[in-house]
């Protein structure tokens, strides 16, 4: 009996201990589940709060975007109106400039010597002994002594070709020559400006194939001859004289300048720029990249010999083009981001015009920057190429006379 009793007692205690153990485990699991439920409820509440805040943020963002759209529309309208007003002001300024162009200043050349010059003219019949003085003065008056005092009018002829190019008219004829791009071996000849304006593209032109490539829009047409710059790789710059009537090269001259030295920093492809005026043929160039100023050479149009060279003291930096009128170089400047072109530096080979005293002459703002400007002394006009547009500027001239 005793062993049985002991077995019973042992089994009872074992069952009782297991019951307590399982009860503790269940209590633990129940507490953990309650804690998990509490966390899930907290996460649910936070998620719902975040969702509510996100919806509120989305609503406020949508309202802000609508406001920005409205503000953008208002600002766009304001900017459009401001642009219209600026364009109107520029047109009015251009008109005022054409009506009241500022005087171009000079040293003693500023004085047109009305009293002395015309006094000699009145006294010519009375005092024959002063005839020699009058003849000398009259010869000086008949010489090319005009300078630009303003831009009278602008005519946008058409738009054809590349953003950069050149067009010009022979001063001794009505023929117009078009150079499309910055290099090539072909030019287009039109019988007149009217024919060019009426022709679509280059249709109707006479195509002239040159024996070598012209380089950069720096050519000139003068007295039936085409003068163009030829530049081969690692070679000196050459000026070629081409007879437009016979279609043959009559002369070639080497010019000792660096092949990579551009005349104008805003048009780096121009290593030499030929110009023609009443006094003959000119060449604008830079000897080297380290040379800060533009140089000027007077050329013999028959032999291409260099007659004289000057340092114009006009900087190459921010220059876009230049032209020559009556022996005076006019350098046109702009900015890297194209703005209104302006004549900011002058140089006169006869020391009649002083650049520091000359007023700024602004070109009416059009499209971009000038790739070329060519002067026609017979018409007193500039032929400009501006971002593919062919433009004619009629100039206001003023006679200057040394005292």
Mark residue 247 as left, alpha or beta (left: phi above 0; alpha: psi -120 to 50; beta: remaining): left
Spatial distance between the Cα atoms of 186 and 182, rounded to a whole number of angstroms: 11
Architecture of domain 146-399: 6 Propeller (2.120)
Q: Cα angle at 298 between 183 and 143, to 5 degrees?
A: 120
**pLDDT for the residue numbered 111:** 34
* Cα torsion through 370, 375, 380, 386, rounded to 10: -20
Tokens, residue 304: 């291409």
What number of other Cβ atoms are within 10 A of residue 326's Cβ? 23
For a pLDDT cut of 70, what percent of the chain falls above it? 76
Tokens, residue 222: 């003068």
Q: Strand 165-169's sheet: what is its strand order?
A: 165-169, 176-180, 183-190, 206-215
State which H helix or E strand residue 199 sits in.
Answer: none
The DSSP call for residue 353 is -
| CA terminus-to-terminus distance, the chain | 158
**pLDDT for the residue numbered 339:** 75
**pLDDT for the residue numbered 172:** 85
pLDDT in tens, 181-220: 999 999 999 999 999 988 887 667 899 999 999 988 899 9
List Cβ neighbours of 325 (8 Å cut-off, separation of 6 or more): 146, 147, 148, 277, 278, 375, 377, 395, 397
The crossing angle, in degrees rounded to 10, of helices 131-142 and 114-122 is 130
Tell me whether residue 44 is exposed, middle or buried, using C-beta atoms within 10 angstroms of its C-beta: 0 to 12, 13 to 18, 19 or more: exposed
Tell me whether residue 390 is exposed, middle or buried, using C-beta atoms within 10 angstroms of its C-beta: 0 to 12, 13 to 18, 19 or more: buried
**pLDDT for the residue numbered 137:** 34
**pLDDT for the residue numbered 46:** 86
Domains of the chain, residue spans:
10-92, 146-399
Tell me whether residue 90 is exposed, middle or buried, using C-beta atoms within 10 angstroms of its C-beta: 0 to 12, 13 to 18, 19 or more: middle
List Cβ neighbours of 250 (8 Å cut-off, separation of 6 or more): 225, 241, 242, 243
Is 256 within 8 Å of 279 (Cβ atoms)?
no
Helices (H), 260-317: none
> What is the pTM for the complete model shown?
0.67
Strands 361-362 and 293-299: unpaired
**pLDDT for the residue numbered 236:** 74
In this prediction, the residues of the chain whose per-residue pLDDT falls under 50 are: 97-142, 402-403
């Amino acid at each position: 009996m005793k062993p049985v009793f002991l077995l019973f007692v042992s089994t009872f205690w074992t069952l009782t201990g297991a019951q307590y153990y399982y009860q503790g485990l269940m209590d633990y699991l129940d507490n953990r589940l309650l804690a998990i439920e509490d966390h899930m409820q907290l996460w649910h509440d936070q998620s719902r709060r975040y969702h509510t805040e996100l919806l509120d943020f989305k609503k406020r963002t949508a309202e802000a975007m609508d406001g920005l759209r409205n503000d953008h529309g208002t600002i766009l309208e304001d900017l459009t109106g401001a642009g219209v007003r600026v364009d109107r002001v520029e047109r009015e300024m251009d008109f005022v400039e054409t009506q009241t162009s500022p005087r171009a200043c000079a040293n003693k050349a500023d004085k047109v010597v009305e009293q002395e010059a015309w006094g000699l003219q009145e006294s010519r019949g009375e005092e024959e002994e002063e005839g020699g003085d009058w003849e000398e003065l009259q010869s000086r008056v008949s010489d090319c002594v005009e300078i630009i005092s303003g831009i009278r009018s602008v005519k946008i002829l058409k738009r054809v070709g590349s953003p950069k190019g050149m067009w010009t008219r022979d001063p001794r004829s009505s023929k117009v020559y078009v150079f499309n791009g910055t290099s090539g071996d072909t030019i287009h000849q039109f019988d007149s400006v009217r024919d060019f304006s009426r022709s679509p593209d280059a249709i109707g032109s006479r195509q002239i194939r040159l024996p070598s490539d012209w380089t950069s829009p720096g050519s000139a047409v003068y007295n039936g001859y085409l003068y163009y710059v030829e530049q081969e790789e690692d070679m000196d710059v050459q000026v070629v004289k081409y007879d437009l009537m016979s279609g043959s090269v009559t002369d070639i001259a080497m010019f000792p300048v660096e092949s990579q030295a551009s005349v104008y920093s805003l048009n780096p492809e121009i290593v030499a720029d030929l110009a023609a005026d009443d006094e003959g043929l000119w060449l604008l160039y830079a000897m080297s990249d380290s040379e800060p100023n533009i140089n000027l050479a007077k050329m013999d149009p028959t032999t291409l010999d260099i007659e004289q060279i000057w340092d114009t003291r006009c900087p190459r930096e921010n220059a876009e083009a230049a032209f020559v009128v009556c022996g005076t170089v006019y350098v046109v400047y702009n900015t890297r981001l194209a703005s209104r072109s302006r004549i900011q530096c002058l140089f006169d080979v006869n020391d009649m015009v002083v650049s520091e005293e000359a007023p700024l002459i602004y070109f009416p703002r059009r499209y971009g920057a000038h790739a070329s400007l060519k002067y026609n002394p017979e018409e007193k006009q500039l032929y400009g190429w501006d971002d593919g547009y062919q433009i004619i500027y009629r100039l206001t001239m003023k006679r200057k006379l040394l005292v």
